[in-house]
Amino acid sequence: MSEHCIIIGASHAAAQLVSSLRQEGWEGKISLIGDEPNLPYHRPPLSKAFFVGEKTEDELLIRAADFYDKNNVDLLLGSRVTKIDRDAKKITLEDGAEISYTKLALTTGARVRKIPFTGRELAGVFYMRDLNDVKQTHKFTGPGKSAVIIGGGYIGLETAASLRKIGMNVIVIEAMERVLQRVTAPEVSAFYTRVHTEEGVDIRTQAGVDAIVGEKHVTGVRLADGTTVPADLVIIGVGVIPNVELAEEAGLTIDNGIAVNEFATTNDPDIVAAGDCTNHYNPIYDRKLRLESVQNATDQAKIAAKSICGKPEAYNALPWFWSDQYDLKLQIAGLSQGFDQVIIRGNSEQDRSFAAFYFSEGRFIAVDAINRPKEFMMSKRALTSGQTADPLKLADESIEIKDVFN
């Protein structure tokens, strides 16, 4: 049969994969299958610019519609794949149609983690994962209305900032001792708690949710201590789960995601995977990682395309992330998990600009840079090249950041 690459999942990774396949010289057919009816779009603005009406649907698109036409991509949007037959090298769609492939790419992403709260079916209760979720929330937002956000991670805090921007009353409910507890240092958690409080957000930590209350429409959230807080809108953001079921049923190796090697290839040499659904080895941190980031989805998709085109190249990218809240631009380089020392450059207790540098056993491993682009860029370069820094010099702002790393 003629060469045919099928991409399952219309995600960030999928959009990059299409582009990279053509750039790497793939002349065969490309089919892109996604269960949403939309072309691949940017997800980060869903909790920010799109949420408050600053971006349109068209502005969310990663590539314009004519890009797929120019690259001869067969789009099957609003379709779901139910089976992968590796022996016959074909996939089956929900309507029973079968399509053969020579190469297969899984960019299936992740879905929201759902918690069975009583009242979760009420109108006005949402998860913030896809475009349709956010479009539906608009009828429940507006100045003076009340929102309860369950989950004090980045999505929850970004959503809180967006809702305050349009004049809503916002309460954030977090079960752990502090917001962002799983991903950052206490100093950074305290900073975001302070800023959100200054902006009018009511943050309640170590608070459990008993039920979402209302008749047809949500009217409030009852907490574990018995108090009920009012709500016209409830947003639940408690993490995501990688979409691996299709791969698992096909006999691909699963290990907290679809296991891939350094070439983004699964245990089937004709199947690659990229993005939030994958688990890969990262040589910088010498361990396996499953990352939920645009950077990883994009960079890993480039590697997957090279593998499909017979030009294997090992994946060796530094993870980096960002979060926009109010006038704050947080840029994260590296992974801070396992840190045993944090160095603060700037005043995190009073200002809105500082950087937190993370060390583990004397090794520099990550930075959280808030309105500090120089610190972010220098740290990113240092982490990629294996450079380290003197913690005392990092804390001393009289020393230029470019003179700290060696």
Give me the tens of pLDDT residue by residue for the chain, a chain 406 residues long.
599 999 999 999 999 999 999 999 999 999 999 999 999 999 988 888 888 888 899 999 999 999 999 999 999 999 999 999 999 999 999 999 999 999 999 999 999 999 889 999 999 999 988 898 888 998 999 999 999 999 999 999 999 999 999 999 999 999 999 999 999 999 999 999 999 999 999 999 999 999 999 999 999 999 999 999 999 999 999 999 999 999 999 999 999 999 999 999 999 999 999 999 999 999 999 999 999 999 999 999 999 999 999 999 999 999 999 999 999 999 999 999 999 999 999 999 999 999 999 999 999 999 999 999 999 999 999 999 999 899 999 999 999 998 998 6
CATH architecture of 4-111+240-308: 3-Layer(bba) Sandwich (3.50)
Q: Compute the distance between CA of residue 31 and CA of residue 62 in angstroms, rounded to an integer.
A: 17
Where do you find CATH 3.50.50.60 in the chain?
4-111+240-308, 125-236
- Rounded Cα distance between 182 and 63, Å, is 33
Q: The whole model's pTM is what?
A: 0.94
* Pairwise CA distance, residues 117 & 316, whole Å: 41
Exposed/middle/buried for 299, CB within 10 Å: 0-12, 13-18, 19+?
buried
Contact 373, 395 (CB under 8 A): no
Task: Kindly report, as residue ranges, where domains of CATH 3.30.390.30 are found in the chain.
Answer: 327-403
- 3-state secondary structure at position 239: coil
**Six token digits for residue 295:** 């950077």
Identify the pLDDT of residue 130: 87
Gap between the Cα atoms of 88 and 99, Å rounded: 10
pLDDT, residue 1, reads 58
Residue type at 180 in one-letter notation: L
Q: Which CATH class is domain 125-236?
A: alpha beta
Tokens coding 215: 């008749």
Nearest C-alpha neighbor of 366 from the set 337, 394, 404? 337
Cβ–Cβ < 8 Å for 211, 236: no
Using left for φ > 0, alpha for ψ between -120 and 50, and beta otherwise, residue 246 falls in alpha
pLDDT at 51: 84
Do 305 and 17 contact (CB within 8 A), yes or no? yes
CATH fold of the domain at 327-403: Enolase-like; domain 1 (3.30.390)
* DSSP 3-state of 272: strand
Q: Which residues of 212-248 are buried (b: 16+ CB within 10 A; e: fewer)?
A: bbbeeebbbbbbeeeeebebbbbbbbbebebbbebbe
Check if the beta carbon of residue 156 is closer than 8 Å to that of residue 149.
yes
